[in-house]
Amino acid sequence: MQNPPANEIGARRAYGTMIAVAAMAIALSGLAVVSEPAAANHRQGTLRRLAQVRHRLVGTAIGLPELTTDPEHRIVAAREYSSVTPENAMKWAEIHPEQGRYDFTGADQTVTFAEANRMSVRGHALVWHRQNPAWLTSGTFSRDELIAILRDHIHTVVGHFRDRVRQWDVVNEVVADDGSGLRDNLWLRGIGPEYVMLAFQFAHEADPHAKLFINDYLSETINPKSNFIYDYASLVRAYGIPIHGIGVQMHRFLLLPESAADIEANLRRLSDARFLVWITEMDVAVLLPADATKLADQATVYGEVVTACLRVRRCRGITTWGFTDRYSWIPGEFPGFGAGLPFDESLQAKPAYAAIAAALRG
């Protein structure tokens, strides 16, 4: 299923041991931490355990409201997932709200939660055309000044989490929807196309051990946009720039079917080119109201996409953009659509959850 091309479907809004009924929670920086001994009876059936057996990570995006105010949400996240992506806490507007001032409060909370629950962290995102602070978007900067701003931001943010955040979406949604070239944004206008290579180089300087990704949407199958990303990433790497992987967002709509074989073919060509591959932001939006038939079809999509990843050697992880409809970004962005995640608003597992588990077992 493919997103409507007119829409920019990205991360716009804005984990690690299991737990049983008798689990004991303790406080760390105000966040629930899951106790491993109490989780022993539940370990085998969780998504994170099933993914571990298949040598994959299974992740979710998490926003600060649910992380800091919803203990039930934290428990399920820590039980089921082995990777976490901060939904908004690492974006420019949140982490660099004023020129020369950084605020790591929300990002630190997210990383602390992940570390306490033995979860990997995907940093998101160092360069994006949305959710930038006014001082950056409204400022008048020379090319050299913009390069210095970009260098300082990436060095500061990546350096702050050095050896703690293992993967970064260095550039997010930087390719035009039609695949004709790089997206028009303040960095392209102010610096030129080399800003992408500079961003990767700065990130590598700040943490030489981190895996660095280009992340985008409408790039799930072989099409003009994914062709451009494939060619461009290959060219950047050929110049010796450290780009390690391609993030494929995988926001889907039941109304627009695509072949799972087409998705697998695209993931495979990236892997064959020796790029790491990660499904970074998956959800499957349903035209509301959701009924049993729609949820069954949704489950089929989840199962097929997870299976496609498992068949591709370098597809290392699957992340959904949130895991519960309680906090999904979809209804706010696409009125009339929703119910796109593996857990419902009551944090009960849906058929999609069972399909993911079955694919991981398979």
Q: Which residue is catalytic, options 66, 87, 264, 281? A: 281
Query: Six-digit token pair at 349?
Result: 């597992």
Q: Which residue is catalytic, options 173, 220, 264, 304? A: 173
Contact 298, 306 (CB under 8 A): no
Closest CA to 78 of 120, 124, 125, 122: 120
* Pairing of the two strands 31-33 and 337-338: unpaired
281 is catalytic: yes
Contact 120, 59 (CB under 8 A): yes
**Taking the CB of residue 40, how many other CB atoms lie within 10 A of it?**
11
Backbone angles phi, psi at 134, to 5 degrees: -60, -35
345 is catalytic: no
Distance (Å, whole) CA 244 – CA 159: 18
Query: Six-digit token pair at 19?
Result: 């737990």
DSSP string, 166-230: -EEEEEES-B-TTSSSBPP-HHHHHT-TTHHHHHHHHHHHH-TTSEEEEEESS-SSSSHHHHHHH
* Pairing of the two strands 251-253 and 245-248: unpaired
Distance (Å, whole) CA 341 – CA 348: 11
Active site residues: 173, 281
